[in-house]
């Protein structure tokens, strides 16, 4: 069987409420696709449509070239891990991991070897005889991953698998998942998260969701450097979004004339300029903006400056290397950014 996942215009509704709206997405064999979006945007629903726990009202779901839309969950051969581990409390670790194999009626003689292999892959071999209550949260999540891997799935679905863990464990497990993916290069992974750091670190591509719809899809670098919408710009990374009027070869913002690539937008159009805070510098330079310091935050290696620019008091964020002397509130400062670091978004801006 070939791998990969394909949503073909999948719509899911609860009663009259459409929670997944004509969703199209292809996950290639061996690819990690993050589904990134705010709470309630339909991420879990999309995952459950692949697993077979919800039935679309229209559209098809394919695994490889097989249409599985009508297939029950246990016949789809998918591994799934959810936020709350969902281990069986009365079963030892090894029996939890064997569960999917027994349900699949795998040959009895094969089960111990497959269980040992999955526990090895997740670093849990020493814990086979324990019960879930005798494990930490992170260990329980490893067992849940081992259970999903034991059936040797071509498709692995992970629904916010790290969100119940504390920050340090989360970043450790993130590195573990990246390693697992390298060891299982043929497995397609659909990884649901509302955390952009997880998506940026782990995913080959990110599908951005909002309000039941796919908003954007691309590599982390594409979405970060060239977002197509304000939603993507502010959800993937931090963004300054400034209302501008397009001119020829630039745009004006609060009386300042800025140079940037207008991508063929007609002069006079209203648009939004996006520039990342770490690409905004303090001091004079091209595309200078004058304003007053409204807030200063020390973040260790950097200072985050909030500068109010223009009569309307738009706040521009700048992340600059830690300053020896921090400016005082109300100080007048100049910020700048390079023309190539600005992206125009919004009405009349051509895609691509």
Ligand X SMILES: Nc1ncnc2c1ncn2[C@@H]1O[C@H](COP(=O)(O)OP(=O)(O)O)[C@@H](O)[C@H]1O
Nearer Cβ to ligand X, position 3 or 40?
Answer: 40
193 binds Mg ion (CB under 5 A): no
Contact with ligand X (CB under 6 A): which of 14, 167, 182, 301? 14
41 binds ligand X (CB under 6 A): yes
40 binds ligand X (CB under 6 A): yes
Nearer Cβ to ligand X, position 41 or 141?
Answer: 41
Q: Which stretch binds ligand X (CB under 6 A): 33-41, 103-111, 224-232, 292-300?
A: 33-41
45 binds ligand X (CB under 6 A): yes
294 binds ligand X (CB under 6 A): no
Nearer Cβ to ligand X, position 19 or 164?
Answer: 19
44 binds ligand X (CB under 6 A): yes
* Residue 41: CB minimum distance to Mg ion, A: 8
**Which residues in the 5-44 window bind Mg ion by CB under 5 A?**
44
39 binds ligand X (CB under 6 A): yes
CB 124 within 8 A of CB 95: no
Q: What is the 3-state secondary structure (H, E, C) of the chain?
A: CCCCEEEEEEEEEECCEEEEEEEEEEECCCCEEEEECCCCCCHHHHHHHHHCCCCCCEEEEEECCEECCCCCHHHCCEEEECCCCCCCCCCCHHHHHHHHHHHCCCCHHHHHHHHHHHHHHCCCHHHCCCCHHHCCHHHHHHHHHHHHHHCCCCEEEEECCCCCCCHHHHHHHHHHHHHHHHHCCCCEEEEEECCHHHHHHHCCEEEEEECCEEEEEECHHHHHHCCCCHHHHHHCCCCEEEEEEECCCEEEECCEEEECCCCCCCCCCEEEEEECHHHCEECCCCCCEEEEEEEEEECCCEEEEEEEECCCCEEEEEEEECCCCCCCCCCEEEEECCHHHCEEECCCCCCC
Residue 41 binding: pick among Mg ion, ligand X, none (C-beta 5-8 Å cut-off by kind): ligand X
Contact with ligand X (CB under 6 A): which of 4, 42, 153, 277? 42
* Residue 44: CB minimum distance to Mg ion, A: 3
Convert residues 39-68 into a mask of x (bound to Mg ion by CB under 5 A) and - (unbound): -----x------------------------
Nearer Cβ to ligand X, position 13 or 256?
Answer: 13
* Residue 105: CB minimum distance to Mg ion, A: 31
Interacting residues toward Mg ion by CB under 5 A: 44
Interacting residues toward ligand X by CB under 6 A: 14, 19, 37, 39-45
């Amino acid at each position: 069987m070939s791998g990969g996942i394909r949503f073909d215009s999948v719509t899911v509704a609860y009663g009259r409420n459409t929670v997944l709206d004509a969703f199209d997405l292809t996950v290639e064999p061996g690819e990690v696709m993050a589904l990134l979006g705010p709470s309630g945007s339909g991420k879990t629903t999309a995952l459950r449509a692949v697993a077979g726990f919800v039935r679309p009202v229209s559209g098809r779901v394919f695994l490889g070239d097989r249409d599985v839309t009508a297939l029950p969950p246990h016949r789809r051969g998918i591994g799934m891990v959810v936020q709350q581990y969902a281990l069986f409390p009365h079963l030892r670790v090894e029996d939890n991991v064997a569960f999917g194999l027994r349900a699949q009626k795998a040959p009895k003689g094969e089960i111990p070897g497959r269980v040992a292999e999955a526990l090895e892959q997740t670093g849990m071999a020493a814990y086979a005889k324990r019960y879930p209550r005798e494990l930490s949260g992170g260990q329980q999540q490893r067992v849940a991953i081992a259970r999903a891997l034991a059936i040797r799935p071509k498709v692995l679905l992970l629904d916010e698998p790290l969100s119940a863990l504390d920050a340090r464990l989360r970043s450790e497990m993130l590195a573990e998942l990246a390693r697992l993916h390298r060891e299982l290069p043929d497995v397609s992974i659909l990884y649901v998260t509302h955390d952009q750091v997880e998506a940026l670190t782990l995913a080959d591509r990110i599908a951005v969701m909002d309000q039941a719809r796919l908003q954007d899809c691309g590599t982390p670098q594409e979405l970060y450097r060239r977002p197509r919408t304000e939603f993507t710009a502010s959800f993937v990374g931090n963004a300054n979004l400034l209302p501008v009027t397009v001119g020829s070869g630039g745009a004006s913002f609060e009386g300042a004339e800025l140079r940037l690539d207008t991508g063929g937008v007609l002069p006079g159009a209203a648009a939004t300029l996006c520039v990342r805070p770490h690409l905004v510098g303090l001091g004079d330079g091209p595309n200078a903006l004058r304003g007053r310091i409204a807030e200063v935050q020390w973040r260790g290696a950097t200072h985050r400056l909030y500068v109010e620019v223009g009569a309307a008091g738009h706040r521009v964020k700048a992340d600059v290397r830690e300053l020896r002397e921090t400016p005082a509130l109300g100080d007048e400062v100049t910020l700048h950014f390079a023309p190539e670091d600005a992206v125009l978004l919004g009405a009349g801006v051509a895609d691509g």
